[in-house]
Amino acid sequence: MKVPWWFPFGSVAEVSAVELNDRLRGRPAPQLVDVRTAAEFAQGRIRGAVNVPIGELRSRLDALKLDPARPVVAICLSGHRSVPAVRLLERGGFEAAQLAGGMLAWRGARLPEVKG
C-alpha cells in the first residue's frame, strides 16, 4: 500500500546533520525548506532555509519557485513533519530528503544556527 503524502511516519530519503552541513558548502548547495511553525523557525534555523509550515506547504509549493535541478532538504524539529514534506516535494518532481533527526540533530551536532 502506498502511504499518503501527509502521513508523518514511514521511510523517506535522509541526510545527516553533518552531511547537510558539508553539502551546504558545495555548489550548488541544496535548497532548504523548513516546515516548522514560524515561532519555532524564529528560535533558530539553518542559514538559507525558507520557512513554510507543513500545513501550508501544499498550497504554497509553487510560490517557493524552487529550482528543480537542485536537491531540496526538508527540515522540522525532530524528523516527523519533514517526512510528508519530502513526499510532497517528490510528487512535485524534486529530488528531496529530510534532515535526519531534524533541528534537534543539527543542534546536537553543534552546527551553526541563525536566530531571530
- Please compute Rg for the chain using Cα positions: 13
pLDDT above 80: residue 8: no
The catalytic site residues sit at 76
* For the chain, domain boundaries: 18-108
| CATH numeric code, 18-108 | 3.40.250.10
The better pLDDT of the pair 6, 69 is held by 69
Tens digit of pLDDT for each residue in 15-38? 999 999 999 999 889 999 999 999
Q: Supply φ then ψ for residue 110, to 5 degrees.
A: 60, 45
Task: Tell me the three state secondary structure of residue 40.
Answer: helix
Q: Could you report the per-residue pLDDT of 73-94, keeping only the tens digit for each?
A: 999 999 999 999 999 999 999 9
pTM over the 0.75 mark: yes
